[in-house]
């Protein structure tokens, strides 16, 4: 048993003082420091990070170039109003963001502080630009925790209980999740029923000319790492274009090289109207951005979307350094290469263990479904809890989502040696689970979503 006394002390104090609505507990890890892909906790235990703080630390823990950029900025000033005056870092960052996002047209940027407010802003933009009120999003999606973002999300009843009414006129459709098709189809029998469902809704109860936008993660995170068929995304895009509906992509989790492209929409031949980004944009400092064609951003009048510390200069400098690090250190390429390596390793484990039902994702955004039975696809939540907990005990940070899917999202700098060590531990742990060697202790600690 490893020593976790100092960590447990913080956990106990935290439980007494911090809102339970703000955490889905996994394990009692209290970070002391992080470098590269390695974390050390307050008791000196070291871990390989396969989680990147929820895909926030794409450039890794405390990357020296990003630390240097932050320090340089705070030595000059930390922040000064961009609501009433001007700051150069946010302008430079805005220019860089319009270059790395798809679409060869004049774009503009709205800054905020979190992925959630980015999604709220996208709703405002879609409504004001189109003059329409209805928004389409997807069942299982997570778009954040502000009122607009919760209204878009459809992942947890607890998120929505007791706080209504939520934003009106938001309609949730089944996502193109081919492993768990809402229409019971297989790849072979699929006729894009999920797209047909939206068309049916447009014929029967949602007048398409009243729909302002569709907000979608091009590769789903919390829905369960589903990667929709190209044809689905292309036809969905056409459906939007034919009906004057904005095609809005939430890249908060999958952006910034996570899937082996700057943005996950680039896996499809689609130029979105609006892109929302957050999480890894500033390598851990709070920042979000909405990028869209100029006329869409300009559809909102002053002061319809502003925040006191929006485009904060320190966060903006961190984001500029983040883009430079991703480019100069070829992290998008590493995401692809290491992603393929990790998927291959999981495929080998799948051959030996029925527990793994599916492995999917792109780049370093990989989901591994744990099932009780490959035919019924019954979710094995107990396996997910015990495996993640045991991995933590052995020095690998790995969590699960959607009740049974291992969420494999290490920093994009991860080396083959680190990934290989982590996978050796994960493989050994899966074996221990299959042999019934992991105790029930984890079931009392890990709650997940
Ligand atoms: C796809 C997606 N959108 C939005 C959000 C919300 O971002 P934030 O927690 O920064 O508000 C998240 C967070 O997990 C996310 O995964």
Best residue among 143, 225, 277 to mutate for probing ligand 1, ranked by most atoms within 8 Å of CB: 143
- Cα of 278 to ligand 1 centre, how many Å? 7
User: For residue 114, which atom of ligand 1 is closest to its CA?
Assistant: 10
Ligand 1 contact via 143 beta carbon (within 6 Å): yes
User: Going by CA atoms, what residue is nearest to atom 6 of ligand 1?
Assistant: 144
Q: What percent of the chain has pLDDT over 70?
A: 100
Ligand 1 contact via 144 beta carbon (within 6 Å): yes
Q: What percent of the chain has pLDDT over 90?
A: 97
Could you read off the pLDDT of 129-182 as tens digits, one per residue?
999 999 999 999 999 999 999 999 999 999 999 999 999 999 999 999 999 999
Ligand 1 contact via 142 beta carbon (within 6 Å): yes
Rounded Cα gap, residues 402 and 400, in angstroms? 7
Q: Are 342 and 427 in contact (CB under 8 A)?
A: no
Confidence of residue 447 (pLDDT cuts 50, 70, 90): confident
Ligand 1 contact via 115 beta carbon (within 6 Å): yes
What is the model's pLDDT at position 406? 98
The residue among 68, 66, 38, 70 whose CA lies nearest residue 411 is: 38
User: For residue 279, which atom of ligand 1 is closest to its CA?
Assistant: 10
Ligand 1 contact via 252 beta carbon (within 6 Å): yes
Confidence of residue 359 (pLDDT cuts 50, 70, 90): very high
For residue 335 the two structure tokens come to: 């995401």
When the pLDDT of each residue in the chain is averaged and rounded to a whole number, the result is 97
Could you read off the pLDDT of 257-266 as tens digits, one per residue?
999 999 999 9
Ligand 1 contact via 54 beta carbon (within 6 Å): yes
Average pLDDT for residues 322-349, to the nearest whole number?
98
Could you read off the pLDDT of 37-66 as tens digits, one per residue?
999 999 999 999 999 999 999 999 999 999
Is residue 445 scored above 90 in pLDDT? Answer: no
Q: Are 122 and 112 in contact (CB under 8 A)?
A: no
Cα dihedral value 417, 419, 424, 425, nearest 10: 120
What domains lie within the chain, and their CATH numbers? 5-62+330-445 (3.90.1150.10), 65-328 (3.40.640.10)
The CA-CA-CA angle for residues 278, 283, 285, to 5°, reads 75
Least confident range of 236-245, 311-320, 437-446: 437-446
Could you read off the pLDDT of 62-79 as tens digits, one per residue?
999 999 999 999 999 999
What is the model's pLDDT at position 250? 98
What is the model's pLDDT at position 1? 76
What is the model's pLDDT at position 383? 98
Best residue among 144, 148, 216 to mutate for probing ligand 1, ranked by most atoms within 8 Å of CB: 144
What is the model's pLDDT at position 398? 98
Best residue among 115, 122, 220, 286 to mutate for probing ligand 1, ranked by most atoms within 8 Å of CB: 115
What is the model's pLDDT at position 448? 76
Could you read off the pLDDT of 25-34 as tens digits, one per residue?
999 999 999 9
Average pLDDT for residues 239-249, to the nearest whole number?
98
- Cα of 216 to ligand 1 centre, how many Å? 12
Is residue 446 scored above 90 in pLDDT? Answer: no
Could you read off the pLDDT of 262-301 as tens digits, one per residue?
999 999 989 999 999 999 999 999 999 999 999 999 999 9
Q: Are 220 and 141 in contact (CB under 8 A)?
A: yes
């Amino acid at each position: 048993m490893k020593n976790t006394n100092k960590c447990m002390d913080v956990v106990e104090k935290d439980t007494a003082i911090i809102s339970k609505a703000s955490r889905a507990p996994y394990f009692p890890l209290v970070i002391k420091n992080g470098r590269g892909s390695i974390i050390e906790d307050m008791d000196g235990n070291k871990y390989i990070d396969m989680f990147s703080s929820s895909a926030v630390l794409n450039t890794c823990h405390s990357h020296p170039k990003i630390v240097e950029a932050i320090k340089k900025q705070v030595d000059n000033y930390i922040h000064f109003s961009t609501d009433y005056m001007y700051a150069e870092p946010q302008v430079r960052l805005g220019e860089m963001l319009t270059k790395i996002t798809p679409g060869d047209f004049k774009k503009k940027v709205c800054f905020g502080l979190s992925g959630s407010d980015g999604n709220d802003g996208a709703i405002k933009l879609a409504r004001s630009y189109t003059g329409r009120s209805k928004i389409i999003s997807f069942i299982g999606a997570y778009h954040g925790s502000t009122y607009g973002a919760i209204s878009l999300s459809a992942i947890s009843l607890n998120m929505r209980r007791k706080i209504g009414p939520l934003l009106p006129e938001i309609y949730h459709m089944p996502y193109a999740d081919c492993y768990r098709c809402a229409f019971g189809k297989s790849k072979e029998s699929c006729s894009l029923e999920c797209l047909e469902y939206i068309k049916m809704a447009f014929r029967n109860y949602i007048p398409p000319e009243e729909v302002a936008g569709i907000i979608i993660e091009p590769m789903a995170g919390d829905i369960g790492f589903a990667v929709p068929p190209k044809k689905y995304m292309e036809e969905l895009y056409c459906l939007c274009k034919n009906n004057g509906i904005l095609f809005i992509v939430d890249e908060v989790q999958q952006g910034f090289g996570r899937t082996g492209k700057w943005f996950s929409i680039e896996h499809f031949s689609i130029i979105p109207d609006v892109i929302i980004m957050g999480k890894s944009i500033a390598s851990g400092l709070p920042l979000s951005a909405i990028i869209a064609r100029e006329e869409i951003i300009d559809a909102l009048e002053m002061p319809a979307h502003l925040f006191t510390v929006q485009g904060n200069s320190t966060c903006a400098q961190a984001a500029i350094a983040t883009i430079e690090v991703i480019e100069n250190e070829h992290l998008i390429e590493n995401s692809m290469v290491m992603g393929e390596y990790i998927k291959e390793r999981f495929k080998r484990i799948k051959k030996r263990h029925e527990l793994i039902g599916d492995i999917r994702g792109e780049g370093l955004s990989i989901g591994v479904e744990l099932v009780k039975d490959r035919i019924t696809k019954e979710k094995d939540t107990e396996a997910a809890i015990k495996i993640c907990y045991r991995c933590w005990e052995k020095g690998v940070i790995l969590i699960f989502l959607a009740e049974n899917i291992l969420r494999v999202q290490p920093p994009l700098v991860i080396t083959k040696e680190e990934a290989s060590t982590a996978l050796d531990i994960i493989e050994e742990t899966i074996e221990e689970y299959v042999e019934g060697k992991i105790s029930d202790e984890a079931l009392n600690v890990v709650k997940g979503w």
